[in-house]
Structure 1
Amino acid sequence: MPTPEKLQQLDQTLITLLGERLALLAALETPSMQEQLTRYQAQLAVAGIPEHLWSSVITGCMATLAKKPSLSAIVEPRKITIVGGHGLMGRFFVDRLSNAGHDVRVLEYDGWGQAETLLGTADLVLLCVPLKATLAVIRKVAPYLSPTTTLADIASTKSAAVQTMLDSHPGPVVGLHPMFGPGGKSFLGQKVVVCPGRKPAAYQWLLHLIEADGGNLIHSTPEEHDRMMVAVQAIRFFSNFTLGTFLAEEGIDIERSLTFASPLYRLEINTVSRLLAQDAALYIDILLASEERCEAIERLVNVYDRLSKLLAQGDRAALIAEFEAAREAFSGQATRALEESNHVINHLSTFLAANESKANVVEPSVTSEPSVTPAYVQVRAA
């Protein structure tokens, strides 16, 4: 039976080999992922290695090469003040900007006595405050700013925020929207929407930093951003909120239902549970952020109503016609959607199998204090 020491030696060897593989792939004209996946199928079968395990190795290597942060990005150190820097997303930006060598300071709601010092000398003032407070905070900080200071925000609605920054501050302005929560340790593989406001040359260093840290910048007007967020955020959040409310009112035993669940049902329940585990005010404010969002949600409810009436009438032909009309709208996405969803399903199935294997291992009994799980964990909506 292998000893723990032998297992550690094997793990170290695997780590070394993976490092060598990444270095070799980076130095060569990289073979296609499909070629790498299929080249050794016979050897995998002989060695008893499942294809999904090899697929994970290949996919992980390709993703690392595609999103590898730049280590050569050297920038002049800037003075940065993050308003709301003790919040979850605020701390993320404090960490990333500090690690890049910048002088980062934090201004919180109880620290306005230091506003002149913290805001007046800053090269960048970044607002990481709750959505409802964004416009008021913009107006509050603007009088302290130098004309050369870049004013930026990370609110999830951009039209009003960018316009208020432009109206309140004569210097450089940019609206940002990180399309992720604060759980990550870097921008690696993450999207950040950029809505230019004024004097973009003054904040190019910030955009270069995000890209050098592995981020993907999506340039957009504030108006396009807000239209897209109706679908990307408001409609999605409302649909998940509605499903969670319905299942709760129906008294469905969620944990028991997962015993019967397909991977897709489990993913859906995980998405709903993720939303409901977070701060209610954050999501409700996003739903109520604009009249456009409320009107779109009302149209969604009307679609629910129309389809439910067809079901109540047993109108099979009409329901098939509705299905086909929707299918036509999504027809261009079918190949991509199947490929991506199959990848997610396969990896979820692998993860669940590993957890089940772990659960079947008998651990020695240990006496300890019970852990306490918070009722909710507040994170940025994404």
Structure 2
Amino acid sequence: MADISDLAQLREGIDECDAQLVALLAKRNGITQKIGEIKQQTGAPLHAPEREAELLAARRQEAINQSVSPDLVEDILRRMMREAYQNQQAKLACAAPELSPIVIVGGQGAMGQLFAQQFIRSGYNVKILDKDQQNEAQGILKGAKLVMISVPINALGAVVAKLPKLDDDCLLVDITSVKQSPIKALKAAHSGPVVGLHPMFGPDISHWVKQTVVVCEGRDHQAAKGLLEQLQVWGCQLVELDAKKHDEAMQIIQVMRHLTTFVYGQFLAKQSHTLEELRSCSSPIYQLELMMVGRLFAQSPELYSDIMLAQFDDVETLLAQYQDTFANTLEKLKAGDKAGLIDSFEQAKVYFSDSTEHFLTQSRSLLNKANDSKVLD
């Protein structure tokens, strides 16, 4: 019969395995750093999707062969890959040296600093033009080959209009979350090449690999080729969209989502239950929902106010549809109309049908991580 000494001995075995894992991770980190150096020297992109897919498939099969959970192995590998991408950020390849010097207008802001740091890591000459440097604007912009506007949406028009004349071959870029109006302002202020970018991430990312950047054509799109190649070297996924289609998509993806989260956060703040009470008895999925609500209110109120206000006129119809849907659902609940609720559920389910398995798999992984975090707290 097993006793406490057997348990202690087994735990020593686990400790030994863990120590070996740490040693292997250190060895792997050293190798990935060398890979990063080679990528920097050769200009190879940080992210190689085919290599990643092959590696994961091979390791999953090895896990199955050794009666180990393939999902566990994939989770560990993906976490190690994320660490590897972070380790490879110190020095990056320069895909388009002809873009130097680069000027980031609003470069003291969070997103401006993020882009400045990344360009510098790739060896570009980067200059900052912000409120503190306004008197030096002419000199800072002289000879610039790429000017990136990183200012709040509501300030972009005025900022761009005040820019000194740029060289004809200078690429003028904005990174706001709306594209039609900013691109129009850029084209009015500059006769040279223009492109609109929308980074679908915030300044708190740990690395750029797999981050989505929407690209909207402005003028002389070929002139943006070097910049787009640089984004791909950093590992970004580029999605090219017409500016009008982009803004219509963002009305649903961003504006309506932010509005809903904003309203729900206000609602929670008015309840008698504290956040700690709600978290203590919540399921993992509600933990994730609370995290997303809390994440919004951890950001700049000016930023999210600007995002919601910038397209409010365009989302009034969507808001009316949303209110109608909510009201109709409420009426079914009041009437105890279970059949009506089921019918509404089935209609919406059709929209998601092609992606349900994918969403279930992804959400299951996220829920497990949320539950792990709750235990650790």
TM-score, length basis structure 2: 0.82
Say whether residues 1:230 and 2:241 are aligned partners: no
Q: Is the Cα–Cα contact under 8 Å of residues 154 and 177 in structure 1 kept in the other structure? A: yes
- The one-letter code of the counterpart of 1:125 is V
Offset of 1:223 from its aligned partner? Answer: 0.4
Segment of structure 1 superposing worse, 331-340 or 71-80: 71-80
Change in CA separation of 1:257 and 1:316 when aligned onto 2, cut-off 3 Å:
same
Q: 1:66 to 1:81 in 2, by over 3 A?
A: closer
Q: Is the 8 A contact 2:199 2:214 kept in 1?
A: yes
Q: Rate the CA distance shift 1:273–1:81 in 2: closer, same or farther, 3 A.
A: same
Deviation digits for residues 319-377 of structure 1 (CA, Å, limit 9, x no counterpart):
11111111111111211111111121123333444x25xxxxxxxxxxxxxxxxxxxxx
Aligned match for 2:25, one of 1, 14, 26: 14
- Map residues 212-361 of structure 1 onto 2, 5 A cutoff: 212-290=233-311, 291-353=313-375, 355-356=376-377
- In structure 1, how many angstroms separate the alpha carbons of the residues matched to 2:142 and 2:92? 31
Looking at structure 2, the residues matched to 29 and 165 of structure 1 have their Cα atoms a distance apart, in angstroms, of 39
Write 1 or 2 for the structure with the bigger share of helix.
Answer: 2
2:78 to 53, 56, 59: 59
| Aligned CA distance change for structure 1 residues 216 and 136 (closer, same or farther; 3 Å) | same
Q: For 1:67-125, what per-residue CA distance to the aligned partner results, in whole angstroms no more than 9, with x for missing partners?
A: 98896654325111111000000000110111111111111124221111112321111
Over 3 Å counting, the alpha-carbon distance change for 1:30 and 1:315 in structure 2 is closer
Counterpart of 2:60, as a letter, is L
| Aligned CA distance change for structure 1 residues 145 and 17 (closer, same or farther; 3 Å) | closer
For residue 5 of structure 2, what is the aligned residue in structure 1? none
Aligned letter for 1:329?
A: Y
- Kindly state the Cα deviation for residue 5 of structure 1 after the two structures are TM-superposed: 12
1:163, distance to aligned residue in structure 2 (A):
1.4
CA gap of 1:93–1:35, structure 2 versus 1, over 3 A, is closer
**Contact 1:152/1:174 (8 A) holds in 2:** yes
Equivalent residues of 1:96, 1:186 under 8 A apart: no
Equivalent residue number for residue 145 of structure 2: 123
* Residue 51 of structure 1, CA deviation: 6.4
Contact 1:80-1:105 at 8 Å conserved across structures: yes
Describe the SS at the equivalent of 1:145. coil
| Corresponding position: 1:36 with 2:59 | yes
Measured in 1, the distance between the counterparts of 2:66 and 2:29 equals 18
Q: Which of 79, 95, 102 does residue 101 from structure 2 map onto?
A: 79
Q: Does 1:176 align with 2:187?
A: no
Q: AA paired with 2:25?
A: L
**Paired residue secondary structure (1:40):** helix
Q: Counterpart in 2 of 1:114? A: 136
> After the TM superposition, which of the residue ranges 234-243 and 68-77 deviates more from structure 2?
68-77
Using the alignment, how far apart are the partners of 1:65 and 1:93 within structure 2? 20
- CA distance, structure 2, for counterparts of residue 295 and residue 155 of structure 1: 23
Number of corresponding residues = 347
**Secondary structure class of the residue paired with 1:144:** coil
CA contact 1:125–1:152 (8 Å) conserved in 2: yes
Contact 2:95 / 2:229 at 8 angstroms: preserved in 1? no
Per-residue deviation, residues 301-321 of structure 1 (Å, max 9, x unmatched): 221122112211222221111
Give the structure-1-normalised TM-score.
Answer: 0.81
Q: Is 2:221 the counterpart of 1:210?
A: no
Query: How far off its partner does 1:58 sit?
Result: 3.3
Contact 1:258 1:266 in 2 (8 A): yes
On the 8 A contact 1:287/1:294 being kept in 2, the answer is: no
The CA RMSD measured in Å over matched residues stands at 3.2
- Structure 1 SS opposite 2:167: coil
Is the 1:90–1:128 contact (alpha carbons within 8 Å) kept by the matching residues of 2?
Answer: yes
CA contact (8 A) 2:265 2:293 kept: yes
Q: How many Å apart are 1:288 and its aligned residue?
A: 1.3
**Any idea what SS the aligned residue of 1:133 has?**
helix
For the Cα contact (< 8 Å) 1:83–1:128, is it kept in 2? yes
Q: Which amino acid aligns with 2:101?
A: K
Alignment of 1:83-94 (within 5 A): 83-94=105-116
TM-superposition CA deviations, 1:108-158 (whole Å, max 9, x none): 1242211111123211111000111011112111x4211111111011110
Matching residue of 2:156: 134
> Structure 1 residue 59: deviation in Å?
3.4
Instruction: Give the corresponding residue for 2:118.
Output: 96
Alpha-carbon distance change, 66 to 88 in structure 1, aligned in 2, over 3 angstroms: closer
Offset from partner CA, 1:15-58 (integer Å, 9 cap, x none): 215766998xx99896474553353347466xxxx766423223
Gaps of 5+ in 2: 1-11, 36-47
CA distance in 2, matches of 1:200, 1:64: 35
- Which residue of structure 1 aligns with residue 41 of structure 2? none
Query: Structure 1's 315 and 6: CA in aligned 2 closer, same or farther, altered over 3 A?
Result: closer
Map 1:156-167; keep pairs closer than 5 Å.
156-167=177-188
